[in-house]
Structures are given as C-alpha cells and as structure tokens.
Amino acid sequence: MPKIIKSAKGSYTATDITVDSSGRVITASSGSGGQSQFIMTKFKSTDGNITHAINPATTVVQAFMVGSSGGGGTGTADSSPSGGGGSGLVAGPQAAPFSQPVTVGAGGAGRFDSGAATNYANFGTANGGQGGQQGPQPNINPGTIAAESPSNFTVLADVSPGMGAPGSPGSPYNSTDVMLFQNTYFGKNPGNINTVYGGPSLKDPGPSPKAGIDGAIAIYENIGS
C-alpha cells in the first residue's frame, strides 16, 4: 500500500521540517526563534565599584571593558604622554545566577602614575596604561585586556589600544579606530579624542599634571527580542 504524504503547504517562520528518504518535505511547522538580541544592561564610565547580577533569562554575556590611562608626563618639552588603557570585548556563555563585583579604574593622577584596571570579577580585566614620564620615553606601555582563566569567556576583540584583529594585540594607538570602536558600544560621538574612555593623557611641559582618563564598562546580555 503506498505511503500517504500529508501536504506541508503553507507559510512558516523559523521552520522545523521533516524530509523523507526521497528528499521530500513531509512535515513543516513554525519553530522557535534563534538567539535573542543583545541589549545593554549595565554601563559605567567613572571610577568606582558596583555589583552586577545578570538577568535570569540570560545565557550569554558580553562586556566591553576599558582600563584607565596613566597620567601624562610633565616638566619638560620632551615629556611623554601616558599609555592608553587596555580595551576590548570579552564574551562567553553564562547562566544565571551570576552576580559579580565590577570595578571601573581611575586614571593616573599625574606623571609616573599608571591607570587602574577595569575588572568584571570572574569574567575579564582591562588593565590600565603606564603613566607618562619626564623627558623622552619611547616605550610607554598601553594596557592589555584578558578574559579570566580558566573560564568560558574569550576576548573577541582587542583594541589595546588601537584596532586589532579579534583576539590579537591592538595596533599602536590610533585614536580614530578606538573612537569608532567605542562608539559602536557606547553610542558616543567619535569626533573628539576626549570622548575616548581610557585614552592617553597628553604631556605638559609645565608643572601641572594631566590626570589620566577613567575606564568604562558596558555589559550586554542576550535577552532582547
């Protein structure tokens, strides 16, 4: 007796289908949607401490973190600017409950003072940049970013500081790249270097120290529709 194939005629969304051995679609129905969109659930751009608990429905967390910059060099015309803070995107699967302290680093107060790290406990850290020096210093070090280890989290993009390929060190500081990248996550106007969180503090041949720029963090969870 021949097999009766029921019609699968119709319009379906996120379709679940069954195909027989002859390659024919024999059933079709609307399935469930794919991964939810990411929405920002926490943002902080001044130094200090907070605690962030993810939503009960969250299964993936992303955090764009920026360490603070060091203080700018002072005292001579050839003093050096400071190093920018490490910055980039860390992401990974994480089920609730997950409540962890967050620290946003403060910029270095003056020359020789390194910036403080921005840290999302058990998730990742963006380290601060080195403070500027009095006199020529060609090797001022920027900050770095790293995921906690061992963990499920990985560095998806590293701009420490400058636009690097995913997971690679950043290129030498390029303010345009950093501004554009931060604008994507923070919604800032990328037209002014002063809008860059964790950007290097400029040198000053006079006696007044140029404080570093605070870090920042934006946390995203896949709970959007």
Q: C-alpha angle with apex 47: 42 to 52, nearest 5 degrees? A: 30
Based on the fold, state whether residues 25 and 69 are members of the same structural domain.
no
Based on the fold, state whether residues 5 and 93 are members of the same structural domain.
no
Average pLDDT over residues 173-182: 72
Indicate the length of the chain as a whole number. Answer: 225
Residue pLDDT, tens place only, 186-224: 776 545 545 678 887 777 777 777 888 899 999 999 998
The pTM score is: 0.77
pLDDT at 158: 86
Based on the fold, state whether residues 214 and 112 are members of the same structural domain.
yes
Based on the fold, state whether residues 134 and 88 are members of the same structural domain.
yes
Tell me how many domains the chain contains.
2
> What range defines the domain where residue 46 resides?
37-224
Average pLDDT over residues 87-103: 93
Helix H or strand E encompassing 175: helix 175-186
Based on the fold, state whether residues 150 and 82 are members of the same structural domain.
yes
